[in-house]
């Protein structure tokens, strides 16, 4: 048995050797992170590389969600940002000829500050003179570029204590620390509706900018917020404990690669129906008939739809009761949404409500990129209403609707069951909102503003007939 274990260990060490592209080789890790950078999930990346899921998950979690710097190819050429050895030779020759800094920079095609910094940092200082030699300057530059370097948070105790105190711990006005709920660190993000660890919750950027005010003359108390993030998320960097990520506002245990967030848009939202393609007449509110819509949510998957006209601020509420079969049996996998605010239910409610208005008041509708608008193409056919979608995470593009939703929370508070209200109740609330004077309308009510529009439309039809 001992011999078998020894042979398995030898085989495992061979597979992990850096000389062959096995499970633990540098080449396999580099390929894995190349797929992650391209936007693939860790599950798809391990399948592409040919390693096991646990190994890929361990690499991803140990590195904090992004590739370690030591996996970068050492033979990569220097970018144009840094001076090359040939450029340093030119600087040395021109300086020996007595040219000034600006003349050297002009001939080299670089900024004068770049040349001045190079002469100040990488000059040959032995012997008390500041003669510039290309070989010595190149040696200075390569020595400064060596990685990994000791983290500033690991070597500066005062700076590390300052950062930790502004991430973790809540202090009462009398100076006594309040521990808050006891939350065990599991290495993963907290679940829904669970206690969170209390902390000062300063963001790394707030900490960095505050350091400049608290220590204006101490150059050692300076750090970038990216260094704080790496100290939190990358194991092996020393400095900060990994569980302090729970004190960040997001509470993420891992960072999300930027390429992965680019493909999160809804499949039914195409570039030609984004809000940037909406007619320009809708922006200045001069032409009526352009609407903004959204859902307000409550307990037990209840919801109420809201439609607001941009010119008159006239509000219409959508009754979204649960559909037949909701909460009566086992839910069908990948079946239709039966809670009342699925794509089919929302489409029917909008069609039933908006078609009570004249066609001149049905020009466009702006909605966020929620899945409840997946049937927008059929909605456009049924109502002759052009549907557009906001950009992701841009609620201000529906500012009128967001403001109206805030007013509706007076009648439908958060955390209540919105399904308890009948359709007549919603009509009464909409009438109350439309009968409230608005400053933006010259203290007229939305109902009065809509009546003026309807009368003008009827007069225009009468004169043309």
Segment 117-136, tens digit of pLDDT: 999 888 876 555 568 889 98
Closest CA to 385 of 276, 289, 274, 280: 289
pLDDT in tens, 361-408: 999 999 998 889 999 999 999 999 999 999 888 889 999 999 999 999
Residue 154 — very low, low, confident or very high, per pLDDT cuts 50/70/90?
confident
Q: How many CB atoms lie within 10 A of CB 242?
A: 17
Q: How many CB atoms lie within 10 A of CB 423?
A: 12
Check residue 332 and give its pLDDT: 63
pLDDT in tens, 241-287: 777 877 787 777 777 766 666 656 677 888 889 999 998 888 888 88
CA-CA-CA-CA torsion for 222, 242, 252, 416, nearest 10 degrees? -110
pLDDT in tens, 32-58: 888 887 777 778 888 888 888 888 888
78 or 138, which is more confident: 138
Closest CA to 347 of 326, 377, 303, 317: 377
pLDDT in tens, 430-442: 999 999 999 999 9
Check residue 11 and give its pLDDT: 39
Q: What percent of the chain has pLDDT over 70?
A: 82
Residues 6+ apart with CB under 8 A from 422: 319
Point out which residues pair with 297 in neighbouring strands.
Answer: 303
Alpha carbon separation from 220 to 153, 160, 203, 225, 240 (Å, rounded): 11, 12, 20, 15, 18
Check residue 331 and give its pLDDT: 63
Q: Pairing relation of β-strands 303-309 and 315-319?
A: antiparallel
User: Are 319 and 423 contacting, i.e. CB atoms less than 8 angstroms apart?
Assistant: yes
pLDDT in tens, 314-366: 999 999 988 766 566 666 666 666 667 888 899 999 999 999 998 889 999 99
Check residue 403 and give its pLDDT: 94
Residue 231 — very low, low, confident or very high, per pLDDT cuts 50/70/90?
confident
Residue 82 pLDDT greater than 90, yes or no:
no
User: Are 235 and 244 contacting, i.e. CB atoms less than 8 angstroms apart?
Assistant: no
Give the chain as a 3 state SS string. CHHHHHHHHHHHHHHCCCCCCCCCCHHHHHHHHHHHHCCCCHHHHHHHHCCCHHHHHHHHHHCCCCCCHHHCCCCCCCCCCCCCHHHHHHHHHHHHCCCCHHHHHHHHCCCHHHHHHHHHHCCECCCCCCECCHHHHHHHHHHHCCCCCCCHHHHCHHHHHHHHHHHCCEECCCCCEECCCCCCCCCCCCCCCCCCCCCCCCCHHHHHHHHHHHCCCCCCCCCCHHHHHHHHHCCCCCCCCHHHHHHCCCCCCCCCCHHHHCCCCCCCCCHHHEHHHCCHHHCCCCCCCEEEEEEEECCCCCEEEEEEECCCCCEEEEECCCCCCCCCCCCCCCCCCCCCCCHHHHHHHHHHHHCCCCHHHCCEEEECCCHHHCCHHHHHHHHCCEEEECCCCCHHHHHHHHHHHHHHCCCCCCCCCHHHCCHHHHHHHHHHHHCCCEHHHCCECHHHHHHHHHHHHHHHHHHHC
Closest CA to 399 of 410, 408, 390: 390
Q: What is the chain's mean pLDDT, rounded?
A: 82
Check residue 13 and give its pLDDT: 46
Q: What is the mean pLDDT of residues 195-202?
A: 77
Alpha carbon separation from 412 to 346, 409, 449 (Å, rounded): 19, 5, 25
Check residue 352 and give its pLDDT: 94
Question: For the whole prediction, is pTM greater than 0.75?
Answer: no
Angle CA 381–384–388, to nearest 5: 90
Check residue 18 and give its pLDDT: 39
């Amino acid at each position: 048995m001992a011999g078998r274990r020894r042979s398995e260990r030898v085989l495992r060490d061979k597979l992990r050797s850096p000389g062959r592209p096995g499970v633990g080789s540098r080449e396999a890790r580099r390929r894995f992170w190349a797929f992650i950078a391209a936007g693939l999930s860790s599950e798809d990346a391990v399948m592409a590389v040919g390693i096991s899921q646990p190994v890929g998950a361990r690499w991803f979690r140990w590195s904090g969600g992004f590739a370690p710097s030591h996996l970068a190819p050492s033979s990569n050429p220097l970018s144009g940002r840094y001076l090359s050895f040939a450029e340093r030779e030119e600087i040395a020759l021109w300086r020996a000829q007595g040219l000034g800094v600006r003349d050297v920079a002009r001939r080299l095609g670089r900024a004068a500050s770049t040349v001045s910094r190079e002469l100040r940092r990488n000059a040959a200082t032995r012997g008390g003179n500041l003669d510039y030699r290309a070989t010595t300057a190149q040696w200075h530059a390569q020595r400064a570029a060596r990685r990994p370097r000791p983290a500033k948070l690991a070597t500066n105790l005062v700076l590390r204590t300052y950062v930790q105190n502004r991430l973790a711990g809540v202090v009462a006005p009398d100076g006594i620390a309040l521990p808050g709920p006891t939350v065990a660190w599991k290495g993963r993000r907290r679940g829904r509706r669970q206690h969170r660890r209390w902390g000062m919750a300063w963001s790394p950027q707030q900490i960095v900018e505050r350091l400049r005010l608290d220590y204006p003359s101490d150059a050692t108390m300076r750090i970038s917020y990216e260094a704080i993030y790496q100290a939190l998320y990358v194991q092996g960097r020393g400095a900060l404990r990994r569980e302090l990520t729970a004190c960040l506002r997001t509470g993420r245990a891992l960072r999300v690669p930027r390429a992965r967030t680019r493909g999160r848009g809804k499949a039914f939202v195409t570039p030609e129906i984004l809000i940037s393609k909406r007619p320009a007449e809708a922006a200045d509110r001069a032409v009526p008939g352009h609407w903004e819509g959204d859902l307000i949510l409550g307990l037990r998957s209840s919801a109420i739809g809201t439609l607001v006209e941009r010119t008159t601020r006239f509000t219409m509420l959508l009754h979204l009761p649960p559909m037949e079969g909701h909460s009566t049996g086992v839910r069908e996998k990948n079946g239709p949404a039966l809670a009342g605010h699925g794509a089919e239910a929302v489409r029917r409610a909008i069609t039933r409500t908006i078609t009570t208005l004249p066609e001149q008041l049905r020009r466009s509708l702006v909605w966020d990129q929620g899945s409840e608008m997946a049937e927008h193409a059929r909605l456009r056919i049924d109502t002759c209403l052009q549907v557009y979608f906001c950009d992701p995470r841009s609620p201000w593009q529906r500012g009128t609707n967001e403001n109206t939703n805030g007013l509706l929370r007076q009648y439908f508070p958060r955390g209540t069951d919105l399904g308890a209200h009948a359709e007549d109740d919603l009509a009464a609330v909409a009438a109350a909102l439309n009968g409230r004077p608005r400053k933006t309308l010259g203290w007229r009510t939305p109902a009065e503003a809509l009546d003026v529009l309807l009368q003008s439309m009827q007069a225009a039809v009468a004169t043309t007939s």
